[in-house]
Structure 1
Amino acid sequence: MALPHSFGTNMRWSAVQPLRTVFHLLALIFISINAFNVDTKNALVHSHSNGHFGYSIDFYNEQKGMPVLIVGAPEAHSTNPNLIGIRRPGAVFACSVNKKACREVFIDKKQGNEHRLNGSVLAPIEDKADQYFGATVRSNKKRDRIVMCAPKYKYFFSKFEVIEPVGTCFFAENGFQKTEEFASCRQEPARHGRHRFGYGQCGFSAAVPDKFKKDDERIFIGAPGVWYWQGAIFSQNVRNVTDRPNTEYGGKEYDHDMMGYATATGDLDGDGIDDIVAGVPRGNDLIGKIVLYTSHLKMMVNLTDTISPQQGEYCGSSLAVSDVNNDGRDDIIVGCPFFTDYATVKDAKTQERKPQYDVGKVIVFFQTAPGVFDKSMAVIGQDQWGRFGWSVAATGDLNKDGFNDFIVGAPYAGENKDGAVYVIHGSKEGVRDKPTQKIEASKVAPGTKTFGFSVAAGVDVDGNGLPDIAVGSWKSNRASVLLTKPIVQVNGQTDADSVTINVEDKNCDVDPKMGKQSCRTINTCLKYDGVGDTPNELEFVLHYDLDNQSPEPRAYFLHKDIKADRNIVISPGAKTKDHPNSIQRRVRLEKGRQKCFQQRFFASSTMRDKLSPIHWTVNYTFEESKTGRIRDKLEPAIDTTLPLSFQNKISIANNCGKDDVCVPDLKVTAVTDREKFLLGTQDNTMQINVTVENGGEDSYETKLYFDVPEGFEYSGIEGVGDKTTTTAPSCSPTSDKPDENGKWTFACELGNPLPANTVLSNIVKITANEKKPPVKPIEINAHVNSSNKETEGTTQDNYFSYTVPVDFKNQLNLNGRSNPEQLDFSTKNKTNEEVFYDNEIGPVVSHLYEVLNIFRN
């Protein structure tokens, strides 16, 4: 129902806390990237016992230059003496912006319900019970005029036979000494009934312009129940109660569109006069739309969601107007709180899109020329059921970047669905597509519910030059004022004392064990400036993260350097404590003055990856106190729209030419010491002479891969080399078991780098397995590669394949023996004719013969 507005901060700085010399690492509270400059630690939270206090809120200058927060409580039991005895008429409260103090403002000057003669009986012609006074409170941008409404106020029309919720509003300016009632739907002769103004609920929304013609000062009153809830806008002249034109009936196809659910004002056609934008959340086939009118209700244009239109998203239920891209023309901010996001979230397993219901969204329509709104952008909510866009308010320039910002309420978002408010920054391109800050109820006042149901902004309540905000939470009967912190804008850069590092140039002492290593120095320069009342000195923490793009850091900070400086500690995320790649360093800066800091680092001489540069990042934060204050002043906030870190890199020295890109040209060939492998000989070892050539530039992490076929075992490698080297490379199997064909693959380190124009020859020895020798032709496969890419089309000679046939030489051994070995035989024995039995010839002699084939064929 009610719509909202803006926020700010103020502080002066004198002394600065001394530089701490001890790091209490666990006690550091660092500013979150998701936070910016709306302070949540020192919120001023107003509360009331009941009555939906916080249902609507807005800032108003009760006295010149002295803002108060006006809070509506539409179900409150009023203490207004004029309303004694009336059940829950509702109330509005004026609350201090710097201390916990609220008082009810007595707006209604009439005694009770007005009575008139009904025949001879004096009877009430109105009913203020449950009228929901305070459901709408809305001031202008100058904060010197305000409207407060009771949309459920009831009136008895002709002959006292009909009582209908026409609604009513009260207008005040320059304080509350004089108020004027405007019940635009309460018109005589009777215009009652659902088909006219009877259920209009005038004051469901309202808007107060700043720019108007002389003698034509108006307010705009939304009445969504007019004409069978088609809705209407009344342009009420505040100097002439009967000058109240309204938008016309539109035909039955517009029934229940509810125009006037929300309203806002701004110069929408460039004529210097504020116009009116009306929200129609059920229009355009339930997608919602907004309609723009001049101050005298001449229709200008209809606008609707063209980005991702969706029935039921309720676009137009909240509105604000502000120039967010600083082009000199007002833009329109539209809430669509029931939007369901079907695109963002995926199921982790199925990768199917998961609908996120009622996340809500906000659309900004940009005025690209006077009266032309042909560009729009959307910001999508983050929490399912959060209803992002339920309320919106123009804040002014929160971070002083030259672009106006706005806030968005999502009363059911955040932790435990207690509500949240989001800060959206304007920009030259329009608006940022992600919130700069998310303010959750639990961070402001634990236990608060519906935080963000109403919002207000655009007023600097503490005088620090920055607008502040307020948030209503009707379910908890609370209204909170949140100050905007001054801003620290940090600029800087980081580089090294050289663009390269030569890991073979070991010029820096490490320790007695490691001797000397190659080192370089990181130079980081920072300067901060302030927006608002910022301190003259600030303490920052620099977070160095070295070689952060490498799985295994190749560079490190020296432990003794860290121990020598009490302002440096090892970061918790460092890979090792002995040679950390991540440290934190506490430094002090003076506002407006650049200061540079040097930090030495070392590169490992045993690194494998010498192609990739060593990257580093320097993040900066500053320590935030638990209270958010320093010497009773709000701490500044780091401007998170500027870079929060600085990155650079240093290349590892190489022989890659001017482009610093090495392109090798590798080639592998092989020849065996025999044309065929003969099984059955004494020599069962085969030698393969593998030659690798690099005809291009240096080749890094160069490896030779070769296969040991089934039936053979790897017996070693010998380097025959050339002038470059005679050392055999180191080889090892690539797996702990052979493949399905019984084949092993070995990898050999050839050089890191393998220099340009190098030829390496190595003899690989493989030995046939005696128990299970090869029986198939021997396939000799080898290939070579490196971590740097070769020119496309030159890699075919990186592979070599050769087949050696297998032959067999059979070695037969013949062995024999007889049993008995010797036998005496006499010729005197019987002749054959005389022999009848074998044993009559002589003893039996057995001969045993063994034929042995050494290799199976």
Structure 2
Amino acid sequence: MKLGKCLNTEVFVWIGFPGHADGVVLGFCVSFNVDVKNSMTFSGPVEDMFGYTVQQYENEEGKWVLIGSPLVGQPQNRTGDVYKCPVGRSESLPCIKLDLPVNTSIPNVTEVKENMTFGSTLVTNPKGGFLACGPLYAYRCGHLHYTTGICSDVSPTFQVVNSIAPVRECSSQLDIVIVLDGSNSIYPWKSVTDFLNDLLERMDIGPKQTQVGIVQYGENVTHEFNLNKYSSTEEVLVAANKIVQRGGRQTMTALGIDTARKEAFTEARGARHGVKKVMVIVTDGESHDNHQLNQVIQDCEKQNIQRFSIAILGHYNRGNLSTEKFVEEIKSIASEPTEKHFFNVSDELALVTIVEALGERIFALEATVDQSAASFEMEMSQTGFSAHYSQDWVMLGAVGAYDWNGTVVMQKANQLIIPQNTTFNVESTKRNEPLASYLGYTVNSATVSGDVLYIAGQPRYNHTGQVIIYRMEDGDVKILQTLSGEQIGSYFGSVLTTIDIDKDSNTDILLVGAPMYMGTEKEEQGKVYVYTLNQTRFEYQMSLEPIKQTCCSSLKHNSCTKENKNEPCGARFGTAIAAVKDLNLDGFNDIVIGAPLEDDHGGAVYIYHGSGRTIRKEYAQRIPSGGDGETLKFFGQSIHGEMDLNGDGLTDVTIGGLGGAALFWSRDVAVVKVTMNFEPNKVNIQKKNCRVEGKETVCINATVCFDVKLKSKEKTIYEADLQYRVTLDSLRQISRSFFSGTQERKIQRNITVRKSECTKHSFYMLDKHDFRDSVRITLDFNLTDPENGPVLDDSLPNSVHEYIPFAKDCGNKEKCISDLTLDVSTTEKGLLIVRSHNDKFNVSLTVKNKKDSAYNTRTIVNYSPNLIFSGIEAIQKDSCDSNHNITCKVGYPFLRTGEEVTFKILFQFNTSYLMENVIIHLSATSDSEEPPEALSDNEVNISMPVKYEVGLQFYSSASEYHISIAANETVPEVINSTEDIGNEINIFYLIRKSGQFPMPELKLSISFPNLTSDNYPVLYPSGWSSSENANCRPSSLQDPRGINSAQKMIISKSEDLKRGTILDCSTCKFATITCNLIPSDMSQVNVSLILWKPTFVKARFSSFNLTVRAELQSENASLVLSTGNQKRELAIQISKDGLPGRVPLWVILLSAFAGLLLLMLLILALWKIGFFKRPLKKKMEK
């Protein structure tokens, strides 16, 4: 296995915590050159989020790891802080809290440092010192706490130099006039005073804060008290409780508003110049002067009076009246946008339910500078949520700015630029696209040809996330490009990192994290997008993903071994992305990516090596925490790797999680090069050069040389202890060579190499007729102690392969040029009928070589699955190997010029595969070269049709073979049942499987004489039965006259049958029953036929035969039946007793001829014995 890839072993790093006797293990995968076994660890409370941010740092005092702990001081006062942890000291020293929040301050404001989460943003200044931020820093302004955020510029000696926060002069002053409808329809009035009390006690009332005046109207208007009447909330509450309902039959809303505008907002009644004017109108009915409302509202708009209108629907609901016109009127009173300035309640009692919402809308006006604005700008900006040092500017992300649309604060020296809300929110065609987009969640910059591009992420933009690339031109933002996410809720753009891979001072790639990208099982796997920088534009290149995380919350997944304890499930790969300096010393900078939710919130990090102007897609090393997700959580939450902290000249990596951080030392990289030389450099099997165990063979001497150097110190002589293993003939399962003196194909040795070193080994060739290809020699090497010291360079192989070829008998030529021909013949021609698997099919091959000797000549035979290789004839049996195909060695080790070899390959048939054709592809080849034009006669294809004869037994029988009809037999005129017709004949057919081939679907056709030529019945089908696999038809042939259904039938005259004795061919009409037989080991069909006696009783005949025929056919074209199994015939003899029938002429003639012949023979015999001689005559003559 190549060194540098992950082994299946784990080593553990122990991180101890205060109050814990045991440590927490950091398991790791042995991989490339980040040494996780000997790391330096730092610990702190998980609840303080110790390790949330980490930075490597160096000053005159030494080298440090800075660790952010944003919740230090919890639970009462979670101000947060930064710790400095010393490294490189001989003794282990604890981390020291810097107490930076104490000196982080903005003058002339009432600061709220509780929960400021200081240390949640931490970046080092390239010019010295660092920047630490508390994005939840707030200051008090009237009733509100403005969470502006704050950042402190810290000097190299850990002193706060200055603080940055977008704090503005407190502008919480409001002049509020409440216009109350006091007409008779308002009931109960106490609900109105309760509403006033709840609303007023939420206000900070005073001469330099909010002022409140109240106007009541009905038919007339009354000033209950002016804006400057009372100077505290308590005084206003007392006065409000004393207000009585003044009544009135009319509701003069326009008059009340206009009076408040003209009189209540005057300086004489306490109105202040430059302070926002707010009017709250509370009414329960349509106005009687609504014709004046439009003009009154226009006058209020001219004076920038913000109006909140409240419609009380109690009077309408009690009277079951329509509220439509009333609501429209009160909406017209409210300022724009109406949805933020208009309220309605069901009745007076419900007024208190809107107090909180109304108060928040009014308080929002305190935070805005614009007289007509009703939303936050920088008051909730959380500046310092992210931070970055570019060449000239400090970039501070302010995600809460402009109602959480966000922005980026740019600071340079004493210049502070806060872009306007519309600067980044370019007009979009999509509704609400930029709302709460969190611009500034992360910030970064890129350098190209001396120009600086600024980059900001807004992960909630359009719900899919977006990245904005812009340039600063004369203090103004110019947007150049935007990059958009692909999945809703993935938080694309929440993490940004740029990196100069090839160290040419120009940015090469941008990495964009989408840590909440959902995987296929809806788990937060995360994804990182990689963009390459081309001129000033970024172009998508690829995406990176973590190893698959399986959610085991219910133990239903088959890969789960234990249940997840923590939610959510996934990895959140891309939560932290760090550009680190060249870790593996290959001349390219690298990337480290955190996945803090992996392994049930234990966490892990991935290291990607740079290459060219980008990074490799596959990670080089993965470091899992091995933690339990409780005492150490989210390992990989923060990453930094810019410095050499132990003085070995190598960049080290710091990785933080909640509850701890670890400093991982990088290990040097050893470059090992190996060469192997052989003498002789070819194997000549005809020239033996040594004897082994009494046999002559070929011996080879191998020289192995090692060259070693360190990447970090190439000119320094380095001594390495290596372990190596040499394997002979490594491509073969069975080796053709062994090491001398060992009879083994492998040896393993240790060697100490100081710069370079060589060693020798010898081996010999075995006496095997196998010279098809070269002998491969493989050398694998590794460091003797891979866990300590340098690691092997993973860009170079740790396996070396060399080949020793075989010498060829080609005369003086370097290459053998052969010309093989292949002739093939078969024992069978045309269609093959296979009756059993023992049937043979033979192929004869003749291989001939016309030119140079052909080394390792062989024939390769590929055949269809319906054949089985059974053997060969005419060459040695061990010359052929069969493994899916047949490879036969011909004339080993070579086939000489003009030599030919003939042999025969024997096949049997595979009954498991029934195919329509036998297909065989044969080719002849060798290791020698052959011109392309000579290859046409090296291959032969055979394709022959084949059918398989099904073995079966076809039986037929009848219940009656002879039926006699009495001469005097009569038949009834009316037939009531089949018993009245005549004798029943049952025909039985049985088909049984007996061969090796599967039974095909069969068709059985049964024909029988049904009618005479004059349509008189002969054999009447009363029905049939069969086994379950048979389906016979047509059903209309079963009892076609319905006799079995008790239907009476009258008999007509019968046909005279004296013309002959056989009616099946010439005189009768046949009916056919067809049965389809589904494949089965046994099939049976029984047919019942009844001899129709009325046809024969009246006829004149002596006897004749009725023939019933059956034909069996296969429905499968490949499965055929033998001739003897295709047809069956049954003859039923019918005879009549007592009546001679008409004697045929040939019978008469034959009888006459036989009588004459008998008479002649009798006369001849009599003549021979002298019957015709007269003995008396002779006597008389004597």
Partner residue, 1:219 = 394
Alignment of 1:426-505 (within 5 A): 426-442=610-626, 448-474=632-658, 477-505=659-687
Q: Is the 8 A contact 1:702 1:754 kept in 2?
A: no
Cα 1:782/1:645, change in 2 over 3 Å: closer
Larger radius of gyration: 2
Q: Deviations over 1:293-327 (max 9, x none)?
A: 4394523522426xx94444433222223211334
2:78: which partner in 1? 88
Distance across 2 between alignment mates of 1:497 and 1:253: 76
- 1:558 alignment partner in structure 2: 739
The separation in 2 between residues aligned to 1:780 and 1:247, in whole angstroms, is 81
User: Structure 1 665/484 Cα, relative in aligned 2: closer, same or farther at 3 Å?
Assistant: same
Secondary structure of 1:367 counterpart: strand
Q: Which residue of 2 aligns with 1:177?
A: 159
Structural mapping, 1:153-552, within 5 Å: 153-157=137-141, 160-184=142-166, 188-189=170-171, 191=367, 195-209=376-390, 211-212=391-392, 218-237=393-412, 239-240=413-414, 243-246=416-419, 248-249=421-422, 250=425, 252-268=432-448, 270-271=450-451, 276-283=454-461, 286-294=464-472, 296=475, 298-304=477-483, 309-338=486-515, 358-369=524-535, 371-374=536-539, 376-384=541-549, 385-413=570-598, 418-442=602-626, 448-474=632-658, 477-511=659-693, 515-532=695-712, 536-550=718-732, 552=733
* 1:123-142 to 2 correspondences below 5 Å: 125-142=110-127
Take 1:164 and 1:686, find their aligned partners in 2: how far apart are those partners?
96
Question: In the alignment, which residue of structure 1 is the partner of 2:319?
Answer: none
Select the structure with the greater relative contact order (CA < 8 A; seq sep ≥ 6). Answer: 1
Change (3 A) 1:289 1:67: same
- Secondary structure of 1:109's counterpart equals helix
Q: For the Cα contact (< 8 Å) 1:113–1:127, is it kept in 2?
A: no
Inter-partner Cα distance in structure 1 for 2:814 and 2:848: 23
Deviation at 1:374, TM superposition (A): 4.3
- 2-structure distance, mates of 1:763, 1:374: 66
Task: Return the alpha-carbon distance in structure 2 between the equivalents of residues 409 and 509 of structure 1.
Answer: 63
2-structure distance, mates of 1:780, 1:269: 69
- Matched AA of 2:804: I
User: CA 1:733–1:484 in 2, change beyond 3 Å: closer, same or farther?
Assistant: closer
Which residue identity is paired with 2:54? I
Q: Is the 8 A contact 1:321 1:332 kept in 2?
A: yes
Q: Distance in 1 between matches of 2:97 and 2:700?
A: 69
Name the amino acid aligned to 2:165: A
**In 1: Cα distance, 2:125 partner to 2:576 partner:** 17
For 2:498 and 2:440, the matched residues in 1 are separated by: 15
**In structure 2, distance between residues paired with 1:356 and 1:647:** 46
5 Å-filtered alignment, 1:100-139, equals 100-109=93-102, 125-139=110-124
- Which amino acid counterpart does residue 233 of structure 1 have in structure 2? V
Q: Indicate if the aligned counterparts of 2:859 and 2:889 stay in contact, CA closer than 8 A.
A: yes
In the TM superposition, residue 479 of structure 1 has moved relative to its aligned partner by: 1.0
**8 Å contact kept, 2:738–2:766:** no
Give yes or no for contact 1:45–1:445 (8 Å, CA) kept in 2: no
Give 1:539 shift: 0.4
Q: 1:291: Cα distance to partner?
A: 2.5
Unaligned runs of 5+ in 1: 1-31, 79-84, 117-124, 213-217, 343-353, 562-577, 629-634, 673-684, 719-727, 740-744, 767-778, 804-832, 834-857
Structure 1 residues 500 and 379, CA gap change in structure 2 (3 angstroms)? farther
Deviations 1:68-117 (A, max 9, x none): 11111111227xxxxxx95222121111123352010011235999997x
Instruction: Tell me what 2:87 maps to.
Output: 97
Within 5 Å, give how 1:675-690 maps onto structure 2: none
How far apart, in 2, do the equivalents of 1:423 and 1:688 lie? 62
Partner residue in 2 for 1:665:
820
Mapped partners of 2:862, 2:646: distance in 1: 77
Letter in 2 for 1:365: Y
Preserved CA contact (<8 Å) 2:29 2:623:
no
640 and 687 in structure 1: CA distance in 2 versus 1, 3 angstrom threshold = closer
1:37 aligns with 2:219: no
Aligned residues of 2:769 and 2:892 also touching (Cα < 8 A)? no
Q: Which runs of 5+ in 2 are unaligned?
A: 1-27, 173-366, 369-373, 550-569, 828-839, 907-917, 945-1161, 1163-1182
Distance 1:409 1:484 in 2: 18
Q: Where in structure 2 are the equivalents of 1:810-821 lying within 5 Å?
A: none
Alignment correspondent of 1:585: 749
Equivalent residues in 2 for 1:736-751, closer than 5 Å: 749-751=889-891
Q: Normalised by the size of structure 2, how large is the TM-score? A: 0.50
Q: 1:43 is aligned with what amino acid?
A: S
1:494 positional shift? 3.2
Cα–Cα, structure 1 residues 755 and 478, in superposed 2: closer, same or farther, change >3 Å? same
Q: Following the alignment from structure 2 to structure 1, what is the Cα–Cα distance between the partners of residues 416 and 80?
A: 28
| Structure 1 residue 52, shift from structure 2 partner | 0.8
Q: Amino acid of the residue matched to residue 148 of structure 1?
A: A
Q: Is the 8 A contact 2:822 2:923 kept in 1?
A: yes
Whether the 8 Å CA contact 2:398–2:441 is kept in 1: the answer is: yes
Superposed displacement of residue 416, structure 1: 5.5
Structure 1 pair 601–109 and aligned structure 2 pair: CA distance change class (3 A): same
Aligned residue type for 2:513: C
Quote the residue 2:277 is aligned against. none
Distance in 2, Cα, partners of 1:136 & 1:88: 15
3-state secondary structure, aligned to 2:651: strand
Instruction: Tell me if structure 2 keeps the 8 A contact 1:326–1:428.
Output: no
Return the offset for 1:464.
1.6
List per-residue Cα deviations over 1:679-719 (Å, max 9, x = no partner). Answer: xxxxxx99999643122440525248799xx9xx999955x
1:372: how far off?
4.1
Q: Does 1:700 align with 2:856?
A: yes
The SS at the match of 1:253 is coil
CA deviations 1:789-847 (Å, max 9, x no partner) are 864773556549899xxxxxxxxxxxxxxxxxxxxxxxxxxxxx9xxxxxxxxxxxxxx
**Contact 2:66–2:82 at 8 Å: present in 1 too?**
yes
**Letter matched to residue 104 of structure 1:** K
Distance apart, 1:548 and its partner CA: 2.9
Q: Is 1:56 matched up with 2:241?
A: no
> Residue type of the partner of 1:584?
Q
Q: Name 2:766's counterpart in structure 1.
A: 604
What is the rounded CA distance, in whole Å, between the counterparts of 1:615 and 1:714 in structure 2? Answer: 34
- Work out the CA distance in 2 between the residues paired with 1:639 and 1:375: 30
Structure 2 residue aligned with 1:150 = 134
Higher helix share: 2
Task: Tell me if the contact between 2:849 and 2:897 (Cα under 8 Å) persists in the aligned partners.
Answer: yes
Instruction: Specify the alignment match of 1:120 in structure 2.
Output: none
Matched with 1:785 is 924
Offset of residue 175 of structure 1: 1.8
Structure 2 CA distance for aligned equivalents of residues 156 and 692 of structure 1: 102
Which amino acid in the other structure matches residue 703 of structure 2? N
Partner of 2:899: 759
Deviations 1:752-786 (A, max 9, x none): 234242333557699xxxxxxxxxxxx99995634
Q: After superposition, give the CA deviation of every residue in 1:608-657 in whole Å (9 maximum; x if it has no partner).
A: 3x33322233232102266x3xxxxxx12222123333222222223468
